Amino acid sequence: MQSPCMKEVSEVCLSSCCPAPLFKLSAHHDAMSKSRSTSAACRRDFAATTSASIFPNTQFTNHESLPSLQESFSDFTKVYPRYQETAQVDQIRAQEYYHLSQSNHTCLDYIGIGLFSSSQLHKQESSSQLNSDFPFFSISYKTGNLKTQLLHGGQESELESVMRNRIMDFLNISANDYSMVFTANRTSAFKLVAESYPYKTSRKLLTVYDYESEAVEGLINSSEKRGAKVMSAEFSWPRLRIQSAKLRKMVVSKRKKKKKRGLFVFPVHSRITGSRYPYVWMTMAQENGWHVLVDACALGPKDMDSFGLSLFQPDFLISSFYKIYGENPSGFACLFVKKSAISYLESSTCTGIVNLVPAKKLLQIAGDSSGTDTELEQISRLGLQLDALGTASSFSGLISNHTTQTRRLEREGYESAEEGANRTGLETSEIWESETHANLIKDKNSRSSRNGDSLEVVCRGLDQVDSLGLMMITNRARYLINWLVSSLRKLKHPNTEGFPLVKIYGPKIKFDRGPALAFNVFDWKGEKVEPVLVQKLADRNNISLSYGFLHHIWFSDKYAEEKGRILERREGGVKGMDANKLKAKSDLGISVVTAALGFLASFEDTYRLWAFVAQFLDADFVEKERWRYTALNQKTIEV
C-alpha cells in the first residue's frame, strides 16, 4: 500500500536532498528540528517503500519469466504515482527527439547538458540554407594566457557573447562575480587550471574522485610537473562513501594562521556510482585555506538551481555541454573563475581555450585565397574538410542510427589531437570531436530574441530544461534510477545458492542518490563478465552503455579478506619499486559497467536495460551471441 509519506516525499524531502545552508534558516529552532525529523523519516520511507513494493518477494532466475513492459510500467506507476506528473518530458522527447523512437535506441551514456534538440537539426537540414543569417558554428583552438583572457577578455564574436550569456543565465552564474572561457572539453578546462595555478606558494592538490577520469589524470599530471604535492580522498568499502577521517585529516590545517594550502577539487557527486557528497567539505576546505574547484559536469541539468553558488562561491567551476542527446555527443566545456581569484593565477601560455566560429566565416576564409596564414592554420586546426562544406547536411547532417552507433564506438578509442591520449567509454560527455559542429535555429517561442540586426541563438535543449524545472527533472530521475537498482537486484542465478547476477557499487536504493549506476554482471560460477564485453553486447542490442574504473577504495580490517578478491590492476598501470605510490594505489580498483540517466530517459529505457542484463541468466547467452553475429558475417566478440 502506498504510504502517505511516500505521496508527499517530493515536496517534503526536496530540501533534504540538498545541504541545509541552501535554505533560509528558520527563526524557530523547534520548527526546524521538526522539519528535519519529518524529512529524514520521508527519506527512510521512500527507500523502504521502494524495496518492499517493487516485485515484492520475487526473484527472477530466467529472463523469459520477466513481466512485460506494460505490466512492469503499471506496477511502477503504482509505486511512484507522481511519475505521471512528468509526462511533459515524454512529450518533449516525442516531439523534439523522435530519432530515439525511430531508431529504437536507448542512450545511457550521455553525461552533461544538451544544448539543442534533434528537431532543430533536422528542420535546418530540410531548409538547406547554409548561408542564412542564423549560423552554424565550430570550435577553433587558440593559444593564449588564461589570466590575461580572464582579466581583459578577448575579441569576442557576437555568437560567443550570446552563448556565454545564455549559459551563465542557465547555470545561475553572475557575470559580476565570475569570468568564463570556452574550452575544448572537460580535460582542457582542468589542464588550464593546472597550468595557471600557483603551486609554488600553494603546493597541494587534493581530489575527491572514486573513479578514473582522463580529465583528473590530466590535472594531476600537469600539476605534478609544476611541483604540486598530490593527494586523494579514499572511499570506504562496500558503500564507497568518503572515508571522512582520512579526508578531514588532509583538509584541516593544524596551523593557527591559515595560509593558502592548495587546490581542493570537489565533484559534488560521482558521475559513475551516483554517490552524492556532503557540501560541508567545500566549506571545511575554504575555512582551512584551500582554493576550491567545483566539477559540475556530473550535475543534473537543473541542479545548479539548488547548488547555492552565492553561498559557497568556489574559486573555479567547470561545466560541460554536448550538442544533441542521443545523436551528437560533441560540444565544449566552460571554465568559470571567480573574479577575486584571478589575481592568484600565474601568467602562462596555455592551450585548450577555444573560440566559437560561425560556419559562414569559415566558408569565407576557406574561399578567400588571399587569407592570412593564421586564418588558414585555424582552418587546419579545426580539422574541417573543406569539400564537406558544400551543403548543410554534409556539415551538420542527419546522423542515422548506424552512424550514431559508429561514432559512439569510435569515440571509445578516440585519440585526442591535443593530448594523444586514448579515450574510453568512461568519459562520454568530455569526448568532443575536434571538428565539432552544430546549428542553431530561430524559434518564435524561444526566450531568445532578435533586436535589429543582433544575433538570435536558440538553445532549445536549455529552454526545455528550464521549462521543466528542478522538481520534475529530479523526481523523474529518482523514480527511474531506484526502480532500476531494485529490479537488477531481483535477478538471481538458478542455483541452490541463488547467486546474484548483478553487483551494484556505491549507493543502492536511496532517495538522494544520483541518476548514475556502476555495476557488474557475474556468471553462475561467480566470475565477472568483462565490462567491455557487456558494453559491446548492449550496443548490439541498441543500448548505449559505458564502462569505467573505480579506484581509491579503502578496506577496513573487517573486509581485509575481500580486498584481494575484489581489487584488480588496471591495464597499463604502473609497476615496480620506483612507481609513484599514489598512482600505484589508484591503479588498483574495479572495472565496472556504467549507465547514466539523462533528463529525457524514460521507463522503457530502464526496462530495456533490465531485460538485456537478465539475458545473462542464460549460461549460454554470450556464446549464442558470438555465433549469431558470426553467422551474420559480423566481427566476433573476443571473450
CATH number of 46-109+460-570+582-631: 3.90.1150.10
pLDDT of residue 16: 38
Each residue's pLDDT tens digit, 332-356: 999 999 999 999 999 988 889 999 9
- Which residue type is seen at 247? L
pLDDT of residue 35: 58
SS3 content of the chain, % helix, strand, coil (to 5): 45, 20, 35
Higher pLDDT among residues 424 and 551, named by residue = 551
Asked if residue 273 lies in contact with residue 237, where contact means CB atoms within 8 angstroms, the answer is no
Domain boundaries of the chain, sorted by first residue = 46-109+460-570+582-631, 137-360
- Whether the pLDDT of residue 408 is over 70: the answer is no
pLDDT of residue 40: 83
pLDDT of residue 219: 97
Cα separation, 612 vs 426, whole angstroms = 20
pLDDT of residue 327: 86
Cα separation, 168 vs 564, whole angstroms = 47
Least-confidence region, from 201-205, 329-333, 555-559: 329-333
- Whether the pLDDT of residue 579 is over 70: the answer is no
Cα–Cα nearest to 182, from 212, 142, 132, 232: 142
Quickly count: other Cβ atoms within 10 Å of residue 158's Cβ. 13
Q: What is the DSSP letter of 272?
A: T
Range list of H helices, 2-98: 4-7, 9-13, 29-53, 69-79, 87-96
Cα–Cα nearest to 219, from 199, 191, 243: 191
Cα separation, 424 vs 412, whole angstroms = 4
Residues 6+ apart with CB under 8 A from 501: 488, 491, 492, 493, 521, 522, 613, 614, 616, 617
- Whether the pLDDT of residue 402 is over 80: the answer is no
Residues in the chain: 639
- At residue 135 the predicted structure's pLDDT band, cuts being 50, 70 and 90, is very low
Cα separation, 617 vs 51, whole angstroms = 22
- Whether the pLDDT of residue 92 is over 90: the answer is yes
- Whether the pLDDT of residue 71 is over 60: the answer is yes
pLDDT of residue 143: 86
Higher pLDDT among residues 274 and 349, named by residue = 274
- Which residue type is seen at 86? T
Least-confidence region, from 358-362, 439-443, 469-473, 526-530: 439-443
- pLDDT > 70 in the chain, percent: 72
**Segment 39-65 mean pLDDT:** 93
pLDDT of residue 398: 25
pLDDT of residue 498: 75
Cα separation, 216 vs 388, whole angstroms = 35
- Whether the pLDDT of residue 19 is over 60: the answer is no
pLDDT of residue 126: 60
Each residue's pLDDT tens digit, 587-612: 899 999 999 999 999 999 999 999 99
Q: Which three cell numbers stand for residue 191?
A: 589542464
Apex CA 129: angle with CA 124 and CA 131, to 5°? 130
- At residue 112 the predicted structure's pLDDT band, cuts being 50, 70 and 90, is confident
Q: Which three cell numbers stand for residue 257?
A: 594562521
**Which architecture, in CATH terms, is 137-360?**
3-Layer(aba) Sandwich (3.40)
pLDDT of residue 627: 82
- At residue 632 the predicted structure's pLDDT band, cuts being 50, 70 and 90, is low
pLDDT of residue 313: 95
**Segment 168-179 mean pLDDT:** 96
User: Same fold for the domain at 46-109+460-570+582-631 and the one at 137-360?
Assistant: no
pLDDT of residue 400: 30
pLDDT of residue 573: 55
Segment of 391-395, 510-514, 573-577 carrying the highest mean pLDDT = 510-514
Give me the DSSP letters along 308-345.
-HHHH--SEEEEEEEEETTTEEEEEEEEEEEGGGGGGS
**Segment 520-527 mean pLDDT:** 94
**Segment 506-517 mean pLDDT:** 95
Cα–Cα nearest to 83, from 516, 466, 475: 475
Is the four-CA dihedral 321, 323, 327, 329 of positive or negative sign?
negative
**236-269 exposure pattern, b = at least 16 Cβ within 10 A, e = fewer:** bbeebbbbeebbeebbeeeeeeeeebbbbbbbbb
- Whether the pLDDT of residue 572 is over 80: the answer is no
Q: Is there a cis peptide before residue 81, judged by omega within 30 degrees of 0?
A: no
Cα separation, 472 vs 523, whole angstroms = 38
